Structures are given as structure tokens and as C-alpha cells.
Chains A and B, each alone.
Chain A
Amino acid sequence: MTSPAHRSPVPELARGQEDCSRRSLGRPDDDEVPVLEARDVHVHFHGTDSHGRAVTIRALDGVDLALYPGQISALVGESGSGKTTIARLFALIYRPTSGELLYDGTPIRVRGGRAERAYYRNVQLIYQDPFASLNGLKKIRTIISRVVKIHFPRLGRAGIRARAAELLERANMTPTSRYLDRYPTDLSGGQRQRVAIARALAVNPKVLLADEPTSMLDASIRLDVLNLLSDLRESEKVAVMYITHDIASARYLSDRINVMYGGKIIEAGSTESIISAPVHPYTKLLLSAAPDPARYKGSGKPTHEPIADSRPVDNTSDIRGCRFADRCPVAMPKCTSEDLPLFRSIRDSHTVHCWQAEDDADYERASSDRSRTPTNSAKKE
């Protein structure tokens, strides 16, 4: 669908070469091609530290992620772990420093022009703040029809009108006549977010990148937005990447959960397997720290496990092994003296970058993890 302009100096990886390791990051049970995929992607930013020295910030440090049609993948992790960077990478706002992005199995090489527009038709971003992402001076009708006009110029005036109404309907904004001629300021946060989703649907996207779409919304309307995303997965077979820090909502909505820490997906698997059998100590920490109504006061259940001091991750250093090691309650010497290992569950598609899986009979060591090696990526640059 994209017409790759071969301008990137990144050498194309031989296809099929590392597929055995890749497949199980997605669904192991079929050969479906991911609609959007990141392979060993690094994104580095150049900045200065508090002393004014130049540093390289490793926002993404070797990320493998695949999004499949009709599947919702959640991305959870603390602030600064790289969640939004992945969304902006897929939206072509950032370019990978090294590594590869693939759309429908084809490397993405678009930069501007038609190819880029075609890409945006397939991949849409939904922002966190529906108060900032809609133009307050335009009517809902204009906000939605503009997208339709740009991408389907041949529809004609009547066609565009009909399409705008249809889109609102798909976002459960009915009766549409009540909303089309109103301004964003007339609507509640949840309604605005649904307008933003309707607008994203205008181009019949294959992928929705939802960056904390409900964090600004009140509890009573948050679920409507989550349910809408869930329904779109069924009805439109759209692939959704759901970024959140609320692991309970990730469990509610998604098919897979990817846990990020320090620019890496440190654990990934089906939702139930991540929630009920987490392996990585950081995933356990995240699950333990999240509020759980079942542990209400008076229930006699301790609210959580002890929590090691929470320091912001330092992703400016080029370290060997695991970035979580200095906070990890079960860290071993080899966590920082050896390369980060990748273990894969024998039974399902659960993968984890942690030595804790070594003695677990359910897990086997995957082939050496090249995504860690910074020398490798440096060479590519």
C-alpha cells in the first residue's frame, strides 16, 4: 500500500531470516502478517543533562512490536518508558535511529507526498487530550468533513455530508443531527474523544494508535470510549495500539499486553498470561502497585508487596544487561554483566527479557538477543 522511496540508508534485512523469533511476539497460531510492525527499533534523542553535557537519550532501545488486524495490543509502563515514542514512531512523527518499520510486511520508506498521505490513511493517531486535539472554532461537521474531503475528494458535497453523519453514528454519537452543528466546547470530554475517534475513522484506517485516550475522561464516560474501541476491533477489524498506565483498563480492553521499561518491551504476552502469570519483576511491581478494588480496606488482604525505591530510569547511559537491575529486588550479578536474555514460553506467545525465566520449565531461551547490542545499531547509523 505504501510506495517506499528508497532514500533511507538502512540496509534492508533479508526477509524471513529472523521470522522464527518474530512470530511468537505476535500470535503463534497462525501465519497472519502483522499490519504494522517494529523490528529492533531504536530511537535516540540528543539532549543535555543537568550539567549541560551532551547526552544521548535512548527513548527506544531495541523494540520489537507487531500489531495484528482485529487485535488490541496494550502498551503499559511508567512515564518515560517510551510508550508515546512508539506511537509517534508509527505515526511517522519520529524516524527510527536504527531498525525497521513494516506496514503489511513491507518496509516503510515514505517521506512526504502521496505515499505519506496513503500511509496516514491507514494509520491514525488518537491523542490523549480531546480538548486540544479538536479545533474549538469549527463545528463538528467541519472537523470531520475536512478529513473526508482531503482523502476522498471525489465524494461530492452530499456524499461528504452523509459520510460525516455515518462516522458520528459509528462512534455512537446519535442522533447525529444533535452533534453535527455543535462546537467542541459544547461537548463533554467523552463526547469530544468520540468525535476524535470518528474523525480517525474517516479514512477507514487499518490501525488506530490510541495514546492514553481515556486518561482525561471521567470514570463514568471512560468505559464508553473503551467499549467503542473494543467494538471497532470486531466491526472494522482494525488493529488498535492502546497506550495506558492503567493496567486494569488494559486488562479489560486488550488481547495482548506489552510492558515497557526504559525504552524496551521487557515482557509481552496474552492479557491473561501477563496478569495471572507475570515473570518480570517490573511487571509484578506494576501489577502490585495498581489499585485493586478486591483489596479494599477491611478485606484483610494486604494491599501489595513491598516496593523498591522508585527512581526514574536513566536511559542516557549505554549499559549492558538490564536497566531495571538497580531497582530490582531479585537482581543477580549476571543481570548487568551479561547481555539481556530473551525467554519464550513453550506453551504460548509469552516472551520476557529476564533471567527469572531461566529455571522456569515453561520457558526456553530464545536465540541471542541482537536488539540489545548498541554496537550493531551504531554500525547501521
Chain B
Amino acid sequence: MTLTVPQNKETEAQILDRLDRSPILLDVRGLSVDYVTEAGNIRACDEIELTLKRGEILGVAGESASGKSTLLNALGRLQRMPAATSAGSIWYHPGGDEPPVDLAVLDEEELAPYRWTKVSVVMQSAMASLNPVIRLGEQFTDVIRTHDPRLGEKEALAQAGDLLTMVGISRDRLTAFPFQLSGGMQQRALIALSLACDPDLVLMDEPTTAVDVVMQRQILDQVLAAQERLGFAVVFVTHDLSLLLEISDRIAIMYGGKIVEVGTAARLHHDAKHPYTRALRRAFPPLSEPVRRLSGIPGSPPDLLDLPSGCAFAPRCELAMPVCHERPPELREIPQGRSACFITNGELDEAERARQQAAASGDHAPEGGESA
């Protein structure tokens, strides 16, 4: 089966315009998630602020332990102890005249109508998400009929068949057990399942990390084609920034449990404002652009139990100023996104910033970060 290739015809301005006109779907305010441990609480997500529009594809990138999966689990209310949402709200806007609902405070029973029909999830390990001893068809009809009890078994199966066809799996695989499918097919089946109840939002946690590049591309094509047809919004978490640049309307970069930059793919590609984003961009060798010697990011990721008092990235940052070590910068609006870096977020006035930068270049080598 050949697929339609996503055309990618929109310009950055058109993407921004589309997002601007689209109504709000999810409004995350001050969301914090803690892991309770004997050594103390580990804040894996710290006061996350996020707005997601209907039909938006939001990429979330970051390294291990940056809090990206924790954020995703919190949005889907999927976390279990020792993780707990300790502050903040997740306002879901149902659309129309209905008032927004705070998903963060609903109990399990109140939450049930939202699961699958409003918000669904695709996890990294398909084999672990699908029940190995139940045929694929039954796993689909279970979901479909739970949320629409009026449907008969036959109609539900027909729907399941349509969903599988949409992701390029033949209808007759409905009688197969998950282990009879290849890894790529399992992952696609899981994606089809997440779309079973026509959700407004699909949360995807590294859905293509376990498959090879060709299969990854096929899965992405199917996700994007389905997204175009059904119009759901996607939060796509991965460590692969190259991939996010290709598929996301906007990208949020996480570091040390915080969002440090938000921007369109175009802006992050050639005008990333946060030094960490730039360092992360440099960490992926290009495929078509000229090759030059790249360097990793010196130092190691922050210890969440012992975060520095200032910006979490400051100890590894070649542009760090004295103020960066003193207090954390705010995540502020900048043109085409947001930034949490004193150099670019406008928190310091011109004169103060110049003074800080002068102080920084005094005890650092002259800033050659970009050209080196």
C-alpha cells in the first residue's frame, strides 16, 4: 500500500495563522509533578505552562530525565505513585459553549468519560500496551463498545476493521493475537486503537523509537494522514529533535523538569533562542546540510534532587551570566514562541543584560559558542 506523503506546503506564517485561529483545546497552568522518594521529593515537572490549540501537533523534546514523559503521563492523568501531581491545573476546553474542565482534579469516575473519547494515549512499547492473550479485534470492540454501548459487536468490529485499514493493516488481522504482528504493525495497531473513539487529543510517548527508520516514516505518515483527516491534536514526546522539526507545528524543549523554550519548527531550526536548544540542535548531525565537527554538551544532565538555584542549564552553559546562577529565568513570551533564558526572554533590561554579559565574559573565554 502506498500512502499519501504529507505535503508540508504550509509556511511558518501559515502555521502560526492556523494556530492563531484555532480554539484552545488544553490550557495547562502551573502543573508540577513530584516523585516521592526516601531521599526527598523529586520535582520532575516544575510549573509547566502550556497552551494547546485544536488540531495542533506539539512536539516535546528533551533528554532522559528532563521530565517529558512525566509531563505526558500527567496530562493523561496516567501517573501512579510515587508520582503525584502536586500543583497546577489542566483545563480541557470541550468546545462549543461548554465551560472548561480541570482534568487535574477529577476523580477516576469523573475522568472515565474523557478517556479514549477526548484524550487517548500511545505508548512506546506496543507489545506491553496490547493484551497478549486477547485477539486484536476484541481489544478494539472492548474500547469502542465501552464508550458507545448502543453499538453491536458486528458494527464495532466493522469500525475496528476501518481503523486498522486506515493505518495500513489488513482487516483480516482482527483475528490475530498481538504477538503475531511485527513490531511496526503492533505500533500501528496501537495508534489505530487510540483513534477508536475519535479523540480530540492523542498523547504519544516515543511511539516510533523501537522501530527502524523506514517503519518509523511509515507510521508517521499514517499518523499525519489520520490527523489531517480527523483533526485531533497531538502531543508528541521524543528525544529525536530532527524528527520533531519535520512533524510539529510547535516544539517545546524541556530541561531539568522545566520548559525552557517553545517555538515553531522553523524558528528552532535557524533561530533557537535558548543555549540548550542550540546545543541540542548541534547534537544531531545533519543529513543534507554540510558536515562539520560537532560537539556534545559538556557536563552532565542536572540532578533533580539537587537542582542549582538558578537556571538548571547554567552549569553547562557557555553563555551563563552571574544572574543565571542566582535565580531561575521566567518562561516569557517572545516573537514566535517563548524562552526561559535571561539573554533572550526580555526579563532583564538592555543595560542590565549588557552588564551581566560583560561580567560573564570576564570569567569565561570570549563567547565563541555559536561559531566554534
Contact = CB atoms under 8 A, between A and B. Distances in A.
A78 B214 contact: yes
A252 B168 contact: no
B213 A290 contact: yes
Contact of B291 (A227, A247, A251, A309): A251
Contact of A220 (B285, B288, B296): B296
Nearest to B295: A223
A303 interface: yes
A306 B287 CA distance: 18
Contact of A297 (B3, B64, B218, B265): B265
A293 interface: yes
B115 interface: no
Given A292-B286, A307-B221, A227 B293 contact: yes
A299 B289 CA distance: 14
Contacts, number: 170
Nearest to A218: B63
Interface footprint category on A: 35 or more
A219 B284 contact: yes
Interface string B1-25: 1111111111110010000000000
Contact of B286 (A223, A287, A293): A293
B334 interface: no
Query: Which of A218, A223, A293 has the most chain B CB atoms closer than 10 A to its own CB?
Result: A293
B297 interface: yes
Interface in A222-258: 222-224, 226-227, 245-249, 251-252
B331 to A, nearest CB: 21
A297 B283 contact: no
Nearest to B2: A306
A130 B23 CA distance: 47
A247 B295 CA distance: 18
A368 interface: no
Contacts of B138: none
B240 interface: yes
A292 B287 contact: yes
B296 A307 contact: no
Interface stretch (B89-97, B242-250, B322-330, B362-370): B242-250
Contacts of B9: 300
Q: 5 shortest A-B CB distances, which residue pairs?
A: A252-B285, A220-B297, A298-B12, A289-B217, A298-B266
Given A293-B245, A295-B246, 5 more contacts: A78-B214, A218-B63, A220-B283, A227-B296, A289-B217
